[in-house]
Structure 1
Amino acid sequence: MAQGQAEKIVEGTVDSTVRLFEGLDQFAFAVGNFRLSVLDALIFLVAATLLYIGVRIVLYVVKKLIRRSKRLDATQGLLTEKIATIIIIALAFLLGVDLLGIDLSALAVFSGAVGLAVGFGLQKTFGNLIAGLILLMDRSVKPGDVIVVGDTFGEISKIGTRAVSVITRDGKEHLIPNELLMTEPVENWSYSSRNVRVAIPVGVSYSSDMDQVEALLIEAVTSCDRVLKNPKPNIWMSEFGDNSVNFEIKAWIRDPEHGVGNVRSEILKKVWKAFKEEGIEIPFPQRDVYIKTVPDRLKSPE
């Protein structure tokens, strides 16, 4: 008896579910041969949600595997991630179309409008996407590089689908479109080597002992922690100026992402202290004013 009651309950539930689905399928609207019911919309929503969750899980697993791979460096891993993301999303779209039984020919009416929108509205988006993939493939720029684009100087933190993120020394994050790095001149301070040479001009009085000046400059620059010992720094006498004999300090650093101005400041402070201790004069422009005539009202009474 209990088994019969259970079968009746199951049959009743199934019948109710079937009637519910039939009722939902009756609420629909049609345009030509295209028909969309409430049931179709619910099925589409559930399938899209499941596909979205599935894509997120697959992408998470794939990215984990790529990042654990020791055969790929950071740039190759990022490129592989982006290509894998595009392939997985495309496969998910095709799978969704197949599962839902969508007839793509029904969308032929909208193909012209979609093509026009892509051609005009999404032109820059697709251009930046392709430019980002090209930048990663030819490795002209990569995360960690220090670059100069226009007035922006900083370290690349991320190469995204649309833009490259560059963090400047003052903590600002500039988003530069990928296409701009393909069409504008870019200074990459880390392309073939991370070594960067810093030039610092210094002028001294003509009465100074030039050999002593050169020795003090060498001592000041080599005592800076960030200056490399190899290549070693050099001191060049650049010119005889109007008021001073001009030298130029050439020093190499390996970490431009930590700033260049602070290295110059540290070296110049050491130079100033050494010159002051040795009595070496750093000349500066001086002007003498000669008064030819004095107005009568300013003359003192005799």
Structure 2
Amino acid sequence: MQGETPTSVASTASAPPVEQAWSLAEPVREESAVAAAEGAKEALSSKSETVGSVIDTLDAVALSFGSFRISLFDVLIVSAVIVGVLVFAWFVSKMGRRLMRRMTRLDEAQQLLAEKIVTILVWAAAFFLGIDLLGIDLTALAVFSGAFGLAIGFGLQKTFGNLIAGIILLMDRSIKPGDVIAVTDMAGNESFGQIRKIGIRAVSVTTRDQREYLIPNENLMINQVENWSYSSKNVRMQVPVGVSYEADMKLAEELMLEAAKSCDRILKAPPPTVWMSEYGDSSVNFIIHCWIQDPEEGVGNVRSAVLKKLWWLFKENGVEIPFPQRDLHIRSSDQFDRLIDIMAQGKGGASTAKE
């Protein structure tokens, strides 16, 4: 009995090393970088053996980079969470915009600014919510995060610049939807248009001929902008008119004022005025100054209405609208005199032949 005791003790003492060696020989399973996938796998596998086998099959298809492992099942879980977060963020931001529009105490510019801020906050919260739901181990992406962040920073630099510029424009109320500003096309022709929308990247300006200009927000921040309705929507416009030197100037001025006052869109106060601008080559030139308060409805149509009315007033009162006139002086010379004599002789011979 005493001889067997050491043997049993030795066998018992040798058991743990054998078990440790067996455990070290087993393959070590690499943890997934997406913790949400592991939690979903355990939850779904406990429901059904069939579902568990399908999940194991999808999880077996994987790529490993060092300690980083991602399987097909991880990709599906990540895609489902991303789609769900995007739909949730879109729905919440849409409801937030509707709520802002119902707040009648805010004007149009303040509503748009509030909508932009709410949208930014919702999407930022959705991003962090998605990271939290997925349980992504960001340290596994440390190798790529620096280069990826730098590329995103340079690629989206203008986008974020235009976004911040649009928010600043709305905050200082220098540019707001409904304003009428002067814009210049690629050929250098200036026209005016009404601001329809201030987006994340650009401001939409629609002209009277329904051409839509998309001007980056940064351009409106750093360049000079002619805003016709910044502090007031009243705009003074000019209608040039020329009359003959033989016309009655006082009567012509009275008719110009009458034509301007007959237009419905021209304001009575301040009243229209007529200024003589210059003595032209063929006419005495005047400018009719008049005010309107709805420039978004057009300026050319008001000018046309005034000129049409003035045309008939000038006709009725005998005021002449001049046309270009030139006096031609020909210097005399021997060759020119002989040419005149030849032409005169030819005319005399032709009249004799007729007789």
Match of 1:235 in 2: 274
Corresponding letter in the other structure for 1:127: G
Structure 2 residue matching 1:80: 3-state secondary structure: helix
Aligned residue in 2 for 1:213: 252
The aligned amino acid for 2:230 is Y
Secondary structure of 1:274 counterpart: helix
Determine if the alignment matches structure 1 residue 168 to structure 2 residue 240.
Answer: no
Partner of 2:304: 265
Letter in 2 for 1:186: V
1:128 aligns with 2:162: yes
The question of 1:224 aligning with 2:263 is answered yes
> Are 2:90 and 1:56 equivalent residues in the alignment?
yes
- Aligned mate of 1:38, from 72, 82, 96: 72
Q: Hey, what does 2:56 align to over in structure 1?
A: 22
| Pairing 1:73–2:107 present | yes
Residues 150-206 of structure 1: per-residue CA shift (max 9 Å, x gap): 335211110000000011111111111111111111000010000100111222223
Percent identity of equivalent pairs: 58
Structure 2 spans left out of the alignment, 5+ residues = 1-44, 185-189, 350-355
Residue of structure 1 equivalent to 2:352: none
**3-state secondary structure, aligned to 1:170:** coil
Match of 2:287 among 214, 225, 248: 248
Greater shift, 121-130 or 93-102, is seen at 121-130
Give the TM-score normalised by structure 2. 0.77
Q: Is the 8 A contact 1:236 1:247 kept in 2?
A: yes
- The aligned residue for residue 231 of structure 2 is 192
Partner of 2:125: 91
Contact 1:149–1:185 (Cα < 8 Å) also in 2: no
Q: 2:240·2:287 contact (CA, 8 Å) conserved in 1?
A: yes
Q: TM-score, normalised by structure 1?
A: 0.90
C-alpha distance 26-282 of structure 1, shift in aligned 2 (>3 A) = same
2:319 counterpart (246, 258, 280): 280
Match 1:138 to one of 167, 172, 185: 172
Distance change (3 Å), C-alpha of 1:258 and 1:103: same
Give, as a single letter, the amino acid of the residue that structure 2 aligns with 1:138.
D
Q: Between Structure 1 and Structure 2, whose CA radius of gyration is higher?
A: 2
Rounded to whole Å, the distance in 2 between the matches of 1:96 and 1:66 is 26
* Deviation, structure 1 residue 81: 0.7
Cα distance in structure 2, aligned partners of 1:76 and 1:14: 54
Aligned partner of 1:15: which letter? Answer: E
CA distance in 2, matches of 1:149, 1:114: 38
Shift of 1:132: 1.0
Give the letter for the 2:87 counterpart: I
Gaps of 5+ in 1: 1-10
Amino acid at match of 1:86: I
Q: For 2:79, give the aligned amino acid.
A: L
Deviations 1:24-60 (A, max 9, x none): 2121111122211111111111111211221121112
Query: How does 1:83-122 map onto structure 2 within 5 Å?
Result: 83-122=117-156
Q: Which amino acid aligns with 1:248?
A: I
Q: Are the equivalent residues in 1 in contact too, given 2:46–2:52 (CA < 8 A)?
A: no
The answer for the alignment partner of 1:8 in structure 2 is none
**Cα deviation per residue 1:128-165 (whole Å; 9 max; x = unaligned)?**
11111111111111111111133352111100000000
More displaced 10-residue stretch of structure 1: 11-20 or 261-270: 11-20
Say whether the 8 Å CA contact 2:276–2:285 is kept in structure 1: yes
